[in-house]
Structure 1
Amino acid sequence: MKLNYKLSIAILFFGITAFGQSTNNSENVASNQSSYNIENNLSMGIIQKDSTKVKEMRDVPWFVERYKFSFGFYGGYNNTNIQLDSKSGDAGAEVDFENDLGYNSYTSSIFTDFQWRSSSRSRFMLAYYNLRRDSSKKLEKTFDFGENTYEINTTIYSYFNVGVYRFSYGYAILSKPKYEVGLSVGAHILELQLGIGVRGDNINAEVSDNFGVTAPLPDFGIWGGYAFTDKFAVNGEFDYFAVQIDNIDGEVLSYNLSATYKLSNHFNITGGFNSLNTTIDVTGKRADARIKWGNNGLSLRAAYTFGTKKWK
């Protein structure tokens, strides 16, 4: 009886010990499995995050740079026709500045522009150039301009100055490794100053008519570019719009086509054809005017680019 009692206690003790050991082993296995799961999930999360980053990086044409500053030379041919009415409302004649006033149709100028890409698809552009022209000629016909009549065989002097500001925002609706195509909205702002005058031996005072206007001309357009190689690309743009703003009724048609060669990581050179044609009708207290001016020619520019990075 005593032996059975002792044997029962021994068996009970052994069972408790074995159960405890089994429980500890199960807890350790569960703990290890949990740790493995956590580490595995973290690793997968990091891998997925890295994969997402890789997927977000985009391959774009080499000419898509974050910042680009250009400086260049432009030479083009002008067509300038202007009608200036009198204050009383009498219509003036339309004067062809090239044919009637002896202007050289060819003019040249330097220009500058700046481009900023806020993303691989969005670009902001700002450009400026100006032309200053003047002439002196003996008239071959009589015409009315502003408040005065200018008689045949009278020697007159005249000037025509224009400053052109261009601002635009464009968004590339197609953006691929070799090409991009986008839409744009912007404005050409023209600062015009012009005048005709005469002074002769029998004239005691100078007779002249002068006119000036700043005309904002909004436009909408389409633009794009294609990289044929890793150093050569072609770009183009077409813009048009007609609008009336206060006392100014304007129309603008602008387009360009250019070829760019990459000299180094930060420098490239571009040659192209540029065209800008405008019609501006101004109704003012001092006088009414109609200005038709077109400028078409070739440009050559050098550009410095910086801020290159991987695009998202």
Structure 2
Amino acid sequence: MQLAIKDKSVWSSLILIGVLTLSPTAIADDSHFKIAVGGFYSNSDTGMDVTSPLTGKTFELDFETDLELVESEFLPFFEIAYWFNARHGIYFDWQRLHRDATNTNITVPYEFDHPDPDIDETYSIQLGAEITTTFNVDIARIGYGYDFYKDDAWDLIFTAGFHVMWLELGFEGEIGACVDDNCGIIDIAPNTVVFTDVTAPLPDLGLLAHYQFADSWSITGHAQYFYIKIDNIKGELIDLSGGIEYNFEGKFAADLSYKYYKVTVDIEGDHTTTSIHYGFHGPMLTLSYEF
């Protein structure tokens, strides 16, 4: 089962900018490319609003605690960019977090509705059930950067673009369902994924800062934000980082920073709203090269 937001213009932009590729954090006097690779050690926090079959009240299901997904993990990062001149550039970057885990003895029973409002099904996870959870996130960021303030020490860059997020959320195992208000539990075959594949283009605005305080040493900062509502989906993103960069002879650079990232998605159905949040924070190391 799938829920997808399709936007042909977004995909066209993704392909075009992915071919051109570049990074808004570069300091540019002439046209040039910049490529950066790295990773960060993430402490993840993921949850989903569900209902207790015992009390009828809503509570947050914690994926790391209740479903035993790994909380701390190393995440890869890739970025490529092109600046046309000292003021204007385009960029593309990508990061991912893929996790799955099996809980052989659910200690908290819960129920949740299918996020697609056209599918009137409620799923039930009973006490003691064995459930395998899959939660995969891939995030590609594309956009335009404008260096609106530049002097010998400072660069301040405005960015506008899209976060395109591939979200896969699935449950397999001992799952029951209520269909069309018939709340007798109907067994679902094991190894059945309840729902998966939410693809959402998420527009954002941001600000990048670069301050050189000594030869080869700079302080870097990054902030992006979006809020969007498309049909029955409402979402918010906060993306922050700050760190210090060392430049090796003008071509190579290393940046050590701390990153905070959080996405909240609300999917409104006819009778309920499915809320999913995903976030991570941790130290990040990036190595870059300009040519």
Q: What's the TM-score, normalizing by structure 2?
A: 0.74
Q: Kindly state the Cα deviation for residue 189 of structure 1 after the two structures are TM-superposed.
A: 1.4
List aligned pairs for 1:1-312, cutoff 5 A: 63-64=27-28, 66-83=32-49, 94-137=60-103, 138-146=105-113, 147-199=122-174, 205-206=189-190, 208-283=193-268, 289-306=274-291
Whichever structure has more strand as a proportion of its residues is 2
Corresponding residue number in structure 1 for 2:183: none
Decide whether the 8 Å contact of 2:169 with 2:197 is kept in 1: yes
Does the C-alpha gap of structure 1 residues 199 and 282 become closer, same or farther in structure 2, counting only changes over 3 Å?
A: closer
Secondary structure of residue in 2 paired with 1:153: coil
Structure 1 stretch displaced more, 61-70 or 156-165 = 61-70
Q: Kindly state the Cα deviation for residue 116 of structure 1 after the two structures are TM-superposed.
A: 1.5
Q: Kindly state the Cα deviation for residue 247 of structure 1 after the two structures are TM-superposed.
A: 3.2
User: In structure 2, what is the Cα distance between the partners aligned to 1:176 and 1:204?
Assistant: 64
User: In structure 2, what is the Cα distance between the partners aligned to 1:274 and 1:257?
Assistant: 7
User: In structure 1, what is the Cα distance between the partners aligned to 2:26 and 2:202?
Assistant: 32
Identity %: 25
Q: Kindly state the Cα deviation for residue 123 of structure 1 after the two structures are TM-superposed.
A: 2.6
Decide whether the 8 Å contact of 1:62 with 1:227 is kept in 2: no
Secondary structure of residue in 1 paired with 2:195: strand
Alignment deviations for residues 235-289 of structure 1 (CA, whole Å, 9 cap, x no partner): 111111211123321111111112211123321111111111111123479x963
Q: Kindly state the Cα deviation for residue 176 of structure 1 after the two structures are TM-superposed.
A: 0.5
Runs of 4+ off more than 3 Å: 61-65, 90-94
Does the C-alpha gap of structure 1 residues 250 and 62 become closer, same or farther in structure 2, counting only changes over 3 Å?
A: closer
User: In structure 1, what is the Cα distance between the partners aligned to 2:258 and 2:204?
Assistant: 19
Aligned partner letter, 1:271: L
Q: Kindly state the Cα deviation for residue 151 of structure 1 after the two structures are TM-superposed.
A: 1.0
Q: CA RMSD in A?
A: 2.7
Whichever structure has more helix as a proportion of its residues is 1
Decide whether the 8 Å contact of 2:173 with 2:189 is kept in 1: no
User: In structure 1, what is the Cα distance between the partners aligned to 2:99 and 2:193?
Assistant: 17
Structure 1 stretch displaced more, 296-305 or 263-272 = 263-272
Q: What's the TM-score, normalizing by structure 1?
A: 0.69
Q: Kindly state the Cα deviation for residue 62 of structure 1 after the two structures are TM-superposed.
A: 8.9
User: In structure 2, what is the Cα distance between the partners aligned to 1:279 and 1:204?
Assistant: 29
Q: Kindly state the Cα deviation for residue 223 of structure 1 after the two structures are TM-superposed.
A: 1.8
